[in-house]
Structure 1
C-alpha cells in the first residue's frame, strides 16, 4: 500500500475536526458496542484522534493502532504519550502476534458507503483491487478472537465541496470517477488546502468501492457475519465466526 496522506499531514487535524468527523460521538458509540476492558485494534489510527477519545472513555482497554503513514503516527505518538501501542503497518500484511476483541475502521482503511437501503451498502476504502481486499479482510480475521467484532464506519457518498477551516485555510475536495468493473469501481479524491488562494498542500488518493453483491460475498467469505448497526447508525457491526 502507498502512503496516502503524507503531503497533507500538517493540515489533517484541522480538516477532520472541523465537522468532518465527531470523534467524541464515534468513540462513545464504538465503546457502547465493545464494552470495558477490551483489546481494541484501530485500523488506520491516523493522528490518534479517535484513539484519544476512546481511551478517555475506557482507560482499562488495551488499545493498539496501526497506520501506514509515518508522519501521521508521529503526531499520534505526541498526542497519546504511550497510552496506545502504535505500529507502522497496513491491514493487508500486518503481523501483530496478538488477538483482539474488536477491530475498528473509521474510514482510515475501510468503511461502508451507505446509500440508504442496507442491500445497497458498499464496502470499500484505501486498499486497491479485489484480491488485496480479500487478503486484508482475512488478515483482520486472523487477528480477532473467536466471536470478535469488526466495526466499519458508515459513510455517505463523497461529493465536491469547499469549507473554511479557520486560520485563513480553505479545504476543497474534488471527486472524479475512475474505472468500473463487474465487482468494483474506483474514484479519485483530490484534497486541496489553500491559504489566500495559494495551494499550500494537496493530495490525491484512489478509493476502491465494491458493489453490493461483491461486498456481501467478500465479508461472508472472510468469516464475518453482519450483526446490525449501533443505535447511532455510525458503525456496521460484523462478527467473526
Structure 2
C-alpha cells in the first residue's frame, strides 16, 4: 500500500517556511541530550531531513533511519542526507523495516503534544483511534527491550504567516473544531507569489486527551518514564518476559 503524500502541495516551499520558524541546531542539541548512549535511532516523520542533518553534525556516529508518508519530502531528505540515513516511504501504522532501534522520536511527523492554552493534547496525523493504537504497537515492535519513544511538544497548532522572500509569502491557518464529538485541528497551508496562489495543502490532525494516549501507549507496552522541560515525553518499552 502506497502511503498518501500529505505534503505534496507544499513540498516546494516547506523548507523555506520551517527554517524561518525553527532553529534546528538548537532543537537537535536539546533532543540528543535525551538519547544517552543509544545509537540506533528512528525519526518518525523525518520530512526533508533538516533536523537529522543537524543531529548528525553533532553526533555523526549515530545510525539514523527515517520514515515518512510523503515521497515529495523524502526526495528532499535524500538530497540533504545522501547515504548517511536510511529512508523509507511507509506509514507508521503499517511499518515493517526489518530492523530494530534503541530509540524512536516524533516531533509532529506522526504525533506531537500541543498546548491549547488549557491542557496538553496529542495531535496526530493519524485520524482513527485504532490506527493510532496500531502506530504505537508498530513502534514498540521496532524497539529493543528498554528502547525508548520520545514524543516532542510542538507549536505548530498556531496560525503563522511568513514572507519567504520579496515575492513569495507562506501562511499556515490553524483552526480547532469538533466533528461527531471528537476534537481536530485543521491546518490550511497556502503559498502566494505576488498575490497569486501557487501552492496549497489542507491537513487535519486528531486531538486526544493525554490520559487516553497514556492508556494506548501502555497497551502497546510503552510506559512513561519522564517528561523533561514540559517538552519531551519519554516512554520506555518494557522488558519481554
Task: Name the CA distance, whole Å, in 2 between partners of 1:46 and 1:208.
Answer: 19
2:88 is the alignment partner of 1:87: yes
Q: How far off is 1:37 after superposition? A: 5.8
Task: Name the CA distance, whole Å, in 2 between partners of 1:157 and 1:50.
Answer: 16
Distance 1:157 1:3, change over 3 A: closer
CA RMSD of aligned residues (A): 1.9
Q: How far off is 1:177 after superposition? A: 3.6
| SS at 1:113 equivalent | strand
Q: How far off is 1:17 after superposition? A: 0.5
Task: Name the CA distance, whole Å, in 2 between partners of 1:155 and 1:125.
Answer: 12
Q: TM-score, normalised by structure 2?
A: 0.91
Q: Give a deviation string over 1:113-172, Cα, whole Å, max 9, x none.
A: 13568xx32222211110000000111011011111111111247233322222422121
What is the 5 A alignment of 1:79-118?
A: 79-115=80-116
Instruction: Verify the 8 A CA contact 2:184 2:204 in the aligned structure 1.
Output: yes
Which 4+ stretches in 1 moved above 4 angstroms?
none
Task: Name the CA distance, whole Å, in 2 between partners of 1:181 and 1:235.
Answer: 31
Name stretches of at least 5 consecutive residues in structure 1 with no aligned partner.
Answer: none
Instruction: Verify the 8 A CA contact 1:185 1:211 in the aligned structure 2.
Output: no
Task: Name the CA distance, whole Å, in 2 between partners of 1:181 and 1:222.
Answer: 27
Match of 2:133 in 1: 134
Distance 1:227 1:114, change over 3 A: farther
Q: Give a deviation string over 1:185-212, Cα, whole Å, max 9, x none.
A: 1122100111111111010011111123
Q: How far off is 1:58 after superposition? A: 1.1
Instruction: Verify the 8 A CA contact 1:153 1:235 in the aligned structure 2.
Output: yes
2:231 is the alignment partner of 1:239: no
Distance 1:81 1:161, change over 3 A: closer
Task: Name the CA distance, whole Å, in 2 between partners of 1:9 and 1:226.
Answer: 34
Q: TM-score, normalised by structure 1?
A: 0.91
Distance 1:154 1:37, change over 3 A: closer
| SS at 2:57 equivalent | helix
Instruction: Verify the 8 A CA contact 1:191 1:202 in the aligned structure 2.
Output: yes
Task: Name the CA distance, whole Å, in 1 between partners of 2:102 and 2:131.
Answer: 23
Q: How far off is 1:176 after superposition? A: 3.3
Distance 1:122 1:181, change over 3 A: farther
2:158 is the alignment partner of 1:151: no
